[in-house]
Amino acid sequence: MMNFRYLETHELIGLKCEVVDSTNYLQVGIEGIVVDETKNMLVIETPNGRKMIQKRGAKFMFKEGEKSRIIIGDKINYRPHERTKKVIWRRRKW
């Protein structure tokens, strides 16, 4: 089971996702399963077909079981293999 505290660095494909806020008001409320991811887009499989949602300017709620977390799209606006290498939660102490 994945640690939702560090969700920004995990693989998002296969997670349930809902668009909570977006600069495109027509995309708010779209929910389904993430089936693909690029640097700038998430592809969500919904009952009405696949929807491509731009990461920048959107907020996503990811769910797994009873856990859920809202993530700002600007924080995950990287290529998937680059994002999983990032260590976001560590800070240098000078």
Q: Indicate whether 63 belongs to any domain.
A: yes
Q: Indicate whether 94 belongs to any domain.
A: no
Give the pLDDT band of residue 81 (cuts 50, 70, 90). Answer: confident
Q: Indicate whether 78 belongs to any domain.
A: yes
**Domain of 35, in residue numbers:** 4-83
What's the pLDDT tens digit per position in 61-79? 999 888 899 999 998 888 8
Asked if residue 89 has pLDDT above 70, the reply is no
Q: Read off the tokens for 23.
A: 């600069």
Q: Does residue 33 or residue 89 have the better pLDDT?
A: 33
Q: Residue 72: which CATH number?
A: 2.30.30.210
Q: Does residue 93 or residue 52 have the better pLDDT?
A: 52
> Residue 15: which residues within 8 A CB-CB, separation 6 or more?
33, 34, 62, 63, 64
Give the pLDDT band of residue 60 (cuts 50, 70, 90). Answer: very high
Q: Indicate whether 91 belongs to any domain.
A: no
CA dist 67 and 24 (Å) reads 26
Q: Indicate whether 53 belongs to any domain.
A: yes
Give the number of other Cβ atoms within 10 Å of residue 18's Cβ. Answer: 17
Q: What is the number of domains present in the chain?
A: 1
